[in-house]
Structure 1
Amino acid sequence: MSIDLRITGGTVVTPSGPVAGDLLVHGGKVAGVVARDVAVDARRTIDASGRLVLPGMVDVHVHTREPGYEHKDDVLTTSRQAAAGGVTTMFGMPNLKPPTVDVATLTDVFERYATSSIVDWNHNPAPTKFDDIVPMAEMGINAYKIYMVVDTGRDYPHPSGTGIHDHGHLLQIMDRIAPTGKRFIIHPHDQKLMDYIEGAVLASGDNTPEGYASAYAAREGVIWDTAIDVVLRLAEASGCPVHIAHIQTRRSIEAVRRAKAAGVDVTCEVNHWAPFLSTWDDVQTLGPYALSYWVPDENRAAIWEGMRDGTIDIASSDHAPHTREEKEIGWTQMWSAHTGTPGIQYYYELFLDAVNQGRLELDRVVEMVAEIPADKFGLAGIKGALTVGADADIVIADMNHEWTITDDDVLSKTGWTPYNGRTISARIERTIVRGQDVYADGVVVGEPGFGKLAAAPAARPAELAATEGN
């Protein structure tokens, strides 16, 4: 037997559990796991002694900023960060300029990925143009994305064309997505409640990071809870598979838990800032650089429990880079700052560090970052697991490597990370996409354009496939 690659000496983390064996790769696919003493003719060997051999992360929530906002990041720089962070497949978001809302804009974005991305990719367009919903599904997307929010005091990062705020309109969209079989990613938000809550804070003259953080977390997160209740009921009524972004409150997690028990096809995600960057101390010391959102302690405890018990299915980075200039204004005018934080480069390592701290089990982390996003977004058997025949998307990590994150290592154009100065105990040493190194020994070695479209096997709507031959 002759193969392309043998990864020796490591512990291979499979869906059945860790295996002390050697991982074989051939033709860009996983060929199997064998005992260390099995003779195999390998063209290349990587020594992973004392390391974990993990599946690459499938990150379904990434803001690449291209086209329109390339001064923040672009497809190439985002994919470099992905490679360094163990992300082997990334899904982009539609809040671009122009926003991704139809076949023409999706075609343009696909071409940009095909030219520039180092890792594999897909993109989540906004389904706000009814006539383009099915044609975009046929192009190979695995999900759609909308925002239930209108920005106050700015028109970014939630530009017009990507939002749905009327519940009737939302149900119409779900009815059109459901037959495609694609998942519908929703940024939940009760805009009318937020208008009232924000208005009161701004009327008091409080435009600080603390005021902003308090407004979005007001009344135990009422703007999130009411929106998610609506989404879950409409998902049940329409049969549309939904995915809730930014899960962050106790009541929302409980609502998702009940919906799953009732048979609703719902998944939800936790983003890097919720478990790792959302304390009140973060808000006070980092200000606009920590916002995204503040998560009060009770809700953060519920998030960790939701990750442990499986209610929270997926970990997605919500990588959202902005320049220092776009952040600095937030110290005195937070509602004018661009919210969101870069996260794709360090998210997997932060979770591995959480394993070392005893906060999560390793198998739960692998499920959240790889297995479940691949399964729920149409890539089961292709991505997300080290199983025979799947793409050889592999991360080699040292779980006993203490190091400190610094701005000097940041690969984003922004040049900063909210985790600057944080010491963690795990380090990704190598990232492999379809059998090829894209990151090794601290250097991104992947070439622009190596990444490929990661599409579900059946890109056509289920209803069309069902009518063939009739």
Structure 2
Amino acid sequence: MTIDLKLTGGTVLTPAGSINADVLVDGGKIVGLVDGSLPVDAGRVVDAAGKVVLPGMVDVHVHTREPGFEHKEDIETTSRQAAVGGVTTIFGMPNLSPPTNDVETLTDVFERYSRTSIVDYNHNPAPTKYGEIQAMSDMGVQAYKIYMVVDTGRTYPHPAGTGMHDHGELLRMMDLIAKTGKRFIIHPHDQALMDYIEGEYLARGDNTPKGYASAYAARSGVIWDTAIDVVLRLAEASGCPVHIAHMQTKRSIEAVRRAKAAGIDVTCEVNHWAPFLSTWEDVERLGPYALSYWVPDEGRNAVWEGMVDGTIDICSSDHAPHTRQEKEVGWTEMWSCHTGTPGIQYYYPLLLDAVNQGKISLDRVVSLVATRPAEEFGLWGTKGAIQVGADADLVVADMKSKWTIADEGVLSRCGWTPYDGRSITANIDRTFVRGEEVFGDGQVIGKPGHGRLATANA
């Protein structure tokens, strides 16, 4: 008998730890982890000697921009970046046009993924149409997403139909989502406090990147902390599994740590910009191209601590591309600028570089990008781990590969990265989705339409 694929000679990261083994793949599944001395006939043999074999990243927070904003990005270009970055499953976000918040719009989005995505996928619709929540769950979604925010001075990236900050309505959403058993992703934000704080900055004419950065981090991140306190209490009251996006303050990380200890079903994530792109120096140098948000040193230190000790469950990219034209306005009118930064192509390599720097262990990185998202978003057993019976979503990474990130290598339609010029020491060599190589030898070789819907029943 001949199997399809054998990855040989690498150090393999499994749920039981690192082992030296050959990974055997047949029919898109992992069928064996065996000693390299065992003779196995394979249609293709990939030499991973001197490298690590990792599970593909399950990125549950990705803005594909399709439909409605394809001038920024689309599903195919997003999935190309995913392949290069070692991401084998993406979960899209609902802030589209039209917003994804019912069966009709979700059907359209799923059809778009099936035609053009290179990697596997799911989508997080907004639960703003209450009668549609159960029906969308029945279609295979693994989570829902809401923004507790109304944009000031712009209509994007948080368009109508995707937001809710009324606490009573949030509790109603949680009650309905709890019945599905799916997780509720929440972008935390205290709108009333933000209106007041933003108003102070705008009243004195400080519509700059520094002003914007300072406003969102004002008073030790009060707009984040109060919102997260509300979310945690409502999660306790409803029994709804919640997932908090954009963790960035010391107090909110401590609050989540206490909530977990109290038995509240809460998970949380850190996006690429918090550990790698959130210093004041970044704000001064890159202005709108660094925002997302400024994270003061106390918050960044707490983020790294939470990533290491497990309080923070998941690293997801919050890949959020915008054109240079949409960013340039931010130098003088930051509140009119589309905030967010592209990140899916480089997050996994940046984390592997952090391993080399001694900031975090490789086991923890694998947990953050693969194991925990698969466990908490209903994909465990098929995604998130190198184990027999799981999908062969595999990454071969070179931990001794010094290179420099550059705009010239960006596959995003936006054509830029905030990491331009940053040198790192680890790289993705090859990416496989269900045993099919989608990236290798420096080229995306996966075909649009290879991706499949990733669900608990897949």
TM > 0.5 fold call: yes
Counterpart CA distance in 2 for 1:3 and 1:83 is 23
**TM-score (normalised: structure 1):** 0.97
Secondary structure in 1 matching 2:186: strand
Counterpart position of 2:383: 383
| Shift of residue 154, structure 1, vs aligned partner | 0.3
Counterpart position of 1:158: 158
Counterpart CA distance in 2 for 1:109 and 1:44 is 35
Counterpart CA distance in 1 for 2:357 and 2:18 is 19
Amino acid at match of 1:65: R
Counterpart CA distance in 2 for 1:342 and 1:441 is 23
Counterpart CA distance in 2 for 1:335 and 1:82 is 30
Q: How does 1:239-318 map to 2 (within 5 A)?
A: 239-318=239-318
Counterpart position of 1:63: 63
Counterpart position of 2:11: 11
| Shift of residue 58, structure 1, vs aligned partner | 0.1
Q: Deviations over 1:299-340 (max 9, x none)?
A: 100000000100000000000000000000000000000000
Counterpart CA distance in 2 for 1:227 and 1:37 is 56
Secondary structure in 2 matching 1:397: strand
Counterpart position of 2:326: 326
Counterpart CA distance in 1 for 2:349 and 2:396 is 11
Counterpart CA distance in 2 for 1:276 and 1:198 is 25
Secondary structure in 2 matching 1:388: coil
Counterpart CA distance in 2 for 1:193 and 1:456 is 39
| Shift of residue 441, structure 1, vs aligned partner | 1.2
Counterpart CA distance in 1 for 2:392 and 2:112 is 24
Counterpart CA distance in 2 for 1:363 and 1:15 is 9
Counterpart CA distance in 2 for 1:416 and 1:347 is 15
4+ residue runs over 2 A deviation:
none
| Shift of residue 179, structure 1, vs aligned partner | 1.0
Counterpart CA distance in 2 for 1:426 and 1:230 is 40
Counterpart CA distance in 2 for 1:259 and 1:165 is 21
Secondary structure in 2 matching 1:438: strand
2:441 matches 1:441? yes
Secondary structure in 2 matching 1:164: coil
Counterpart position of 1:105: 105
| Shift of residue 2, structure 1, vs aligned partner | 2.6
Counterpart CA distance in 1 for 2:184 and 2:456 is 15
Counterpart CA distance in 1 for 2:457 and 2:200 is 50
Farther off after superposition, 285-294 or 19-28? 19-28
Amino acid at match of 2:78: T
Counterpart position of 1:344: 344
Q: How does 1:18-417 map to 2 (within 5 A)?
A: 18-417=18-417
Q: Deviations over 1:367-397 (max 9, x none)?
A: 0000000000000001000010000000000
Amino acid at match of 1:246: H
Counterpart CA distance in 1 for 2:299 and 2:339 is 20
Farther off after superposition, 136-145 or 36-45? 36-45
Farther off after superposition, 36-45 or 99-108? 36-45
Percent of residue pairs identical: 74
Secondary structure in 2 matching 1:89: strand
Counterpart CA distance in 2 for 1:364 and 1:281 is 28
Amino acid at match of 1:43: G
Secondary structure in 2 matching 1:431: strand
**TM-score (normalised: structure 2):** 1.00
Amino acid at match of 1:400: K
Secondary structure in 2 matching 1:156: coil
Secondary structure in 1 matching 2:414: coil
Amino acid at match of 2:276: F
Secondary structure in 2 matching 1:381: coil
Secondary structure in 1 matching 2:400: coil
Counterpart position of 1:468: none
Q: Deviations over 1:38-69 (max 9, x none)?
A: 01111110001101000000000000000000
Secondary structure in 2 matching 1:152: coil
Counterpart position of 1:452: 452
Amino acid at match of 1:191: Q
In the alignment, structure 2 segments of 5+ residues that lack a partner are none
Q: Deviations over 1:80-99 (max 9, x none)?
A: 00000000000000000000
Residue-pair matches, total = 458
Amino acid at match of 2:367: E
Counterpart CA distance in 2 for 1:236 and 1:146 is 18
Secondary structure in 2 matching 1:293: coil
Counterpart CA distance in 2 for 1:232 and 1:2 is 52
Secondary structure in 2 matching 1:257: helix
| Shift of residue 203, structure 1, vs aligned partner | 0.3
Counterpart position of 1:461: none
| Shift of residue 32, structure 1, vs aligned partner | 1.5
Counterpart position of 1:430: 430
Q: Deviations over 1:193-228 (max 9, x none)?
A: 000000000001100000000000000000000000
Counterpart CA distance in 2 for 1:388 and 1:21 is 13
Counterpart CA distance in 2 for 1:394 and 1:170 is 38
Counterpart CA distance in 1 for 2:165 and 2:208 is 27
| Shift of residue 256, structure 1, vs aligned partner | 0.2
Counterpart position of 1:2: 2
Counterpart CA distance in 2 for 1:427 and 1:258 is 36
Q: Deviations over 1:77-123 (max 9, x none)?
A: 00000000000000000000000010000000000000000000000
| Shift of residue 457, structure 1, vs aligned partner | 2.1
